[in-house]
Amino acid sequence: MTAFDIALYRPHIGEAEIQAVTDVLRSGWLSSGPVTEDFEGKYAAALGVPAAVAVSSGTAALHLAVLALGIGPGDEVVLPSLNFVSAAATVALCGATPVFADVTGPHDLCLDPDDAARRITPRTRAIVAMHYGGYAADLTSLARLARTHGIALIEDCAHAPVTDSVHGVLGTVGDIGCYSFFATKNLAMGEGGMVVAHDPALGDRIRRLRSHALTVSAQQRHRGGSSLYDVDTLGLNYRPTEIGCAIGRVQLDALPAAQARRREAVRLYRDHLASLPGLTVPFADRPVEQSAHHLFAVLLPRGADRDALQDALRAERVQSGVHYPPTHLFTAYQERDPGGQAALPVTEDVMARQLSLPLHPGIGAAEVRRVVEAVSAAWRTP
């Protein structure tokens, strides 16, 4: 599966997931059904909210959030460029304009509330706060900013499933919380996601938009409801599968133990890397308990050769990554901003130096030490 001895991420799949998939295959119901509903209920309970809507991906979750808020042509959404491109794409695909804001700094790679405030105009309809690496953005300031301007706050929790913080459980503070269960995520279904909303009416709208906006769902028809239905708005097919939700349900049960193993690896990384001169570990001042630890990111000194360091790690069969190339520098978004209004000096500085080291529930102390030794050896090489 990989050319690396120590991969950036390794799927944590066991016999329980295999048995759950087998049970679904034997049930004869493959699309969204009773397993999906049960997974939604369990996830909502874990977050402490009344309801949750399972979807086919984290991108689908973000797209449904934008659609449900009625955001479209002429509207603007403020969001960090430091994120996977899907967040901005869902805004642009609705005809609205993604307005990129900077991150706070080298020690906090989440959206800067002050810069977000400077980007708000009369056309702004929402702010997207992304919890980078599983660490909470400043939701207290961002929620206050959203209330002041009468706009929505969407939490991008792709890195932070069932994660507590000083602001509350991530995804439950803003108007809508969006989660990703992609294969590399802390809770992995292969493909999948979840959406939660503060307003029950908004949650119901998201649920209907997920399935073509049908007024009668397939589950309701199966249970003897009307075979006829209406469609009173445009919807999409963003339903998950029973197979994915069966895996997700098992992963949810295993999440506390998996998160504990991630925390222990992060403690080791922080301890062992502290002596490397010029290396910055973002969020190192935060307690390890207040993060999902989806990524372990470091920042190299300015002028360091990141490619050379990655080559050195690769030679030691250690995988590394970059999370993420800034969205505003991609061709598609530069073409949308020909005047270069999206200059983001902090984002561009930190992302020229960012490197992600291996982190997953299966990584042990010996592997962490081997990664650190490989980084240290490359660090000493002229």
Enumerate the active-site residues. 185
Alpha-carbon span 287 to 324, nearest angstrom: 24
Contacts of 373 (CB under 8 A, 6+ apart): none
- Going from the C-alpha of 328 to that of each of 41, 50, 89, 115, 343, the distances in angstroms are 37, 36, 11, 15, 8
Spatial CA neighbour of 9 closest among 370, 379, 369, 361: 361
Partner residues linked to 219 by β-bridges: none
Alpha-carbon span 301 to 282, nearest angstrom: 13
Partner residues linked to 369 by β-bridges: none
User: How many CB atoms sit inside 10 A of residue 85's CB?
Assistant: 18
Alpha-carbon span 77 to 82, nearest angstrom: 15
Phi-psi map region of 268: left, alpha, beta (phi>0 left; psi -120 to 50 alpha): alpha
Give the largest CA-CA distance in the chain: 73
Spatial CA neighbour of 217 closest among 33, 75, 344: 33
Contacts of 363 (CB under 8 A, 6+ apart): 6, 10, 261, 265
Tokens of 54: 């399972």
> Cα dihedral sign for 181, 184, 187, 190?
positive
Q: Is the peptide bond before 324 cis (omega within 30 degrees of 0)?
A: yes
Whose structure tokens read 């769902």? 217
